[in-house]
């Protein structure tokens, strides 16, 4: 199942990046386009149509597209306070305790992140920055093949630490019940979230961005989703803020000859079960280890439930790359910019300084990526598709705004206004120059 590559071949295949909207569209999706839209639209065109209808028709468009795409007839999108409250009775004490441990660790981690306003008089008069939370944010929680309560925690807790007053949660209804998963609602209940809507897909993003009769628009949208959700976030960006454009999930493991093959295989399998397009990649200078990991993957996969998904993921975007040494593996990892970068190598801390591009670094075999998914502390919403080159994991700073303060005294104005006038004249903006000169 684990194909082995040389570096140059890997750069042309599993390590090659391409835009999110340039993925090959499965034939089944193309057939659905014709079925749902009556013509062969591209995903971008389909999303644009949904957004336009929600923007102009509001709740009616939401109901129509939810029925068409999700097969669910909705009369009221908002989840009642009673349903949220009683959802906690649907989960076991064991699950509740695990969720609480996750909430506590994620909150404790983000409370350590420094966010404070500052004011200085060192530049003449007063200058500084005011830190203010975003007023209203929307959290999209994907449904996928199973509910994801961890996604609620990893987005909502940093928002709460930042001081966001209004946190809106949207999630697609389950096809089997036509309702949001009780596990999602129970997690929201534990976090004190009260504004929840049963709606998903591009129509949910449009509703959050533009608002409807039922849903008040938000200031920024967070959360991963499928291709249609990602394209919708891309199309509404500018009118509303977004966190990022999430692509398929990724794990890259750098391992040496001392790594445990069974552990490395387990970590790669945990990633491959997410998605047909998930990336599970091993970089190692040891051909022996790569072969042993491949054998372990075959053995362990037989005991797992998502074998078909795992097989497809390894076929599409997974594999092992044999490098000259760990230095070359680090170089390839920096070029790739993986969402999760795991160091299963001797003295892993020695190599951390050389890593310049990754969503998160998991240092040593005990710091495995699955812990980051649930309980380590940092948010598991990390940059994908190479965006680790310029983006960061979701954190408190994503939920705040900076407002600049400028309060200058007369002496400082007399010292710096001439420079402002000179620069303005150089730019051909004489009204700017005049506004500076009139003060002199």
Residue 146 pLDDT greater than 80, yes or no: no
Whether residues 336 and 308 share a domain: the answer is yes
Answer yes or no: do 230 and 255 share one domain: no
Both 376 and 417 in one domain: the answer is: no
Contact 190, 428 (CB under 8 A): no
C-alpha 17/C-alpha 26 separation (Å) is 19
- Are 87 and 182 spatial neighbours (Cβ–Cβ below 8 Å)? yes
Q: Per the domain annotation, does 142 fall within a domain?
A: yes
Q: How do residues 158-183 score in pLDDT, each as one tens digit? A: 999 999 999 999 999 887 777 899 99
Residue 340 sits in the same domain as residue 380: yes
Please say which residue of 188, 221, 242 terminates a domain.
242
Is residue 342 domain-shared with residue 422, that is, in the same domain? Answer: no
Q: Are 206 and 286 contained in the same domain?
A: no
Residues 185, 195 contacting (CB under 8 angstroms): no
More confident residue, 225 or 374: 374
Query: ∠ CA 20-59-28 to the nearest 5 degrees?
Result: 40
> Domain boundary residue among 187, 212, 242?
242
Band the pLDDT of 26: cuts 50, 70, 90: low
Paired sense of beta strands 220-222 and 195-198, if any: unpaired
Same domain, 150 and 201: yes
Give the pLDDT of residue 22. 65
- CATH number for position 167: 3.40.50.1980
Structural domain span for residue 427: 409-437
Q: Residue 170 pairs with which residues in a beta bridge? A: 140, 197
Mean pLDDT for all residues in the chain: 93
Residue for token pair 């680090």: 330
Q: Which residue has the tokens 């089944």?
A: 28
Residue 345 is classified by DSSP as S
Number of domains in the chain: 3
The phi and psi torsions of 48 (rounded to 5 degrees) equal: -60, -40
The span from the CA of 35 to the CA of 119, in Å, is 59
Residues with catalytic function: 339-340
- Domain co-membership, 334 together with 298: yes
Query: Which pLDDT does position 73 carry in this prediction?
Result: 85
In the chain, % helix, strand, coil (3-state, to 5) comes to 50, 15, 35
pLDDT category at 277 given cuts 50, 70, 90 is confident
Q: Is residue 426 part of a domain?
A: yes
Q: Is the same domain home to 160 and 202?
A: yes
pLDDT at 225 over 90: no
pLDDT digits (tens, 9 = 90+) for 118-129: 999 988 889 999
Q: Is residue 233 part of a domain?
A: yes
Residue at a domain's end among 196, 216, 242: 242
What's the pTM value of the predicted model, to 2 decimals? 0.91
Instruction: Please tell me whether residues 138 and 255 are part of one structural domain.
Output: no
Whether residue 73 is contained in a domain is answered as no
pLDDT digits (tens, 9 = 90+) for 308-334: 999 999 998 999 999 999 999 999 999
């Amino acid at each position: 199942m684990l194909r082995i590559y040389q570096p140059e071949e890997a750069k042309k295949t599993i390590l090659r990046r391409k835009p999110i909207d340039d993925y090959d569209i499965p034939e089944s999706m193309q057939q659905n386009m014709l079925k749902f839209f009556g013509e062969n639209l591209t995903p971008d065109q389909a999303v644009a149509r949904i957004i336009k209808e929600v923007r102009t028709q509001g709740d009616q468009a939401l109901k129509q597209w939810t029925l068409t795409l999700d097969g669910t007839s909705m009369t009221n999108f908002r989840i009642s306070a009673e349903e949220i409250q009683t959802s906690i009775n649907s989960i076991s004490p064991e699950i509740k305790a695990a969720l609480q441990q996750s909430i506590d660790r994620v909150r404790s981690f983000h409370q350590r992140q420094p966010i404070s306003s500052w004011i200085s008089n060192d530049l003449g008069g007063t200058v500084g920055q005011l830190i203010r939370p975003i007023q209203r944010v929307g959290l999209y929680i994907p449904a996928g093949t199973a509910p994801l309560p961890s996604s609620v925690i990893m987005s909502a807790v940093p928002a709460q630490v930042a001081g966001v007053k209004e946190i809106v949660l949207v999630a697609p209804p389950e096809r089997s019940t036509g309702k949001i998963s009780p596990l999602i609602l129970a997690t929201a209940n534990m976090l004190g979230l009260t504004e929840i809507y049963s709606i998903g897909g591009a129509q949910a993003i449009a509703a959050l961005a533009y608002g409807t009769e039922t849903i008040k628009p938000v200031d920024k949208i967070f959360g991963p989703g499928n291709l249609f959700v990602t394209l919708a976030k891309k199309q509404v960006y500018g009118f509303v803020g977004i966190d990022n454009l999430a692509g398929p999930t990724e794990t890259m493991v750098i391992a040496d000859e001392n790594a445990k093959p069974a552990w490395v295989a387990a970590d790669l399998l945990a990633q491959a079960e997410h998605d047909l397009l998930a990336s599970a990649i091993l970089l190692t200078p040891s051909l022996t280890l790569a072969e042993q990991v491949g054998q372990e993957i075959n053995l362990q996969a037989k005991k797992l439930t998502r074998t078909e998904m795992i097989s497809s993921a390894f076929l599409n975007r997974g594999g092992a790359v044999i490098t000259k040494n760990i230095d070359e593996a680090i170089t390839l990892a920096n070029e790739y910019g993986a969402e999760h970068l795991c160091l299963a190598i001797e003295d892993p801390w020695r190599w951390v300084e050389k890593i310049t591009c990754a969503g998160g670094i998991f240092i040593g075999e005990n710091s495995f990526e699955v812990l980051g998914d649930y309980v380590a502390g940092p948010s598991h919403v990390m940059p994908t598709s190479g965006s680790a080159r310029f983006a960061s994991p979701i954190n408190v700073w994503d939920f705040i705004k900076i407002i600049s303060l400028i309060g200058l005294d007369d002496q400082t104005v007399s010292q710096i206004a001439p420079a402002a006038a000179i620069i303005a004249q150089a730019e051909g903006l004489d009204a700017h120059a005049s506004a500076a000169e009139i003060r002199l």
